[in-house]
Amino acid sequence: MPPKKSLGAEYLKGLWDENPVFRQLLGMCPTLAVTNAVINGFAMGLATAFVLILSSLVVSSIKKLIPSQVRIATYIVIIASFVTIADRFLAAFFPPISKALGPYVPLIVVNCIILGRQEAFSSKNSIGRSLVDALGMSTGFILALLVLSSIRELLGAGTFLSYQVLGSWFKPWIIMILPAGAFITLGVLLGLAILIETKTKTRSS
């Protein structure tokens, strides 16, 4: 086993080095689907964070009780239970957001970030470390959603959190709100992330 990182490093790796969206290309479906407005992206990020953190807590605390043959099924049931809670909660308290996110809230259950963290991390690490790891991954995911949705809402509607930011001279780029805009923006951002990474690497070496 590699030497253990400090808790701080465990948290920070989720923000950049192992950012789920930009570096690991996980959880692409919700990333693309709900980022047409900042509020939707943020709500999605929070819901995913809720599920990820609680699932990690549960999985890491009962990891010794789960037989390895049925571990994936067990993880899925745990995740599905928390997703149901999140889905019902949003539907009860924030009906407009729940409506805007549509089937993508229940789809958190198949978000590869969550299952991936359980399999790769929570099933092997202590409760505390799993919590820190889940917090870091969630923060990284929320950040990625915020970056993407800010760009798309700003260029696609000239607004930020539905406040008019750009003046009346600005003609909204309708394409940014459409599916095509999501793909292209994310593609360019991925390129940028790799560019930054290679630039910083060559500088440090």
Partner 1 sequence: MDLLTIFVAAILVNNFVLYYFLGICPFLGVSKKIDAAFSMGMAVTFVMSLTAVVSWMINHWVLIPFGLDYLQIVSFILVIASLVQLVEMFIRKMSPPLYQALGIYLPLITTNCAIMGLALLAALKDYNFIQTVVFGVGSGLGFTLAIVLMAGIREQLDLADVPEPLKGAGIALIVAGIMALAFSGFSGMIK
User: At its nearest, how many Å lie between partner 1 and the CB of residue 37?
Assistant: 15
Q: Residue 100 and residue 82: Cα distance in Å, rounded? A: 20
Query: Which stretches of the chain bind partner 1, using CB under 8 A?
Result: 25-26, 28-30, 32-33, 72-73, 76-77, 80-81, 83-84, 87-88, 102-103, 106-107, 109-112, 115, 175, 178-184, 186-188, 190-192, 194-195, 198
> Where does the chain have alpha helices with state H?
7-12, 28-33, 38-62, 71-93, 95-101, 112-117, 127-157, 174-177, 179-204
Residue closer to partner 1 by CB (options 4, 88) is 88
User: At its nearest, how many Å lie between partner 1 and the CB of residue 99?
Assistant: 11
Burial class (CB in 10 A: 0-12, 13-18, 19+), 198: exposed
CB 89 within 8 A of CB 106: no
Looking at residue 167, its amino acid is: G
Residue closer to partner 1 by CB (options 7, 146) is 146
Looking at residue 38, its amino acid is: V
Residue closer to partner 1 by CB (options 117, 129) is 117
Residue closer to partner 1 by CB (options 143, 177) is 177
Residue closer to partner 1 by CB (options 107, 166) is 107
User: At its nearest, how many Å lie between partner 1 and the CB of residue 164?
Assistant: 26
User: At its nearest, how many Å lie between partner 1 and the CB of residue 80?
Assistant: 4
User: At its nearest, how many Å lie between partner 1 and the CB of residue 25?
Assistant: 6
Q: Token pair for residue 33?
A: 């689907």
Classify 115 as helix, strand or coil.
Answer: helix
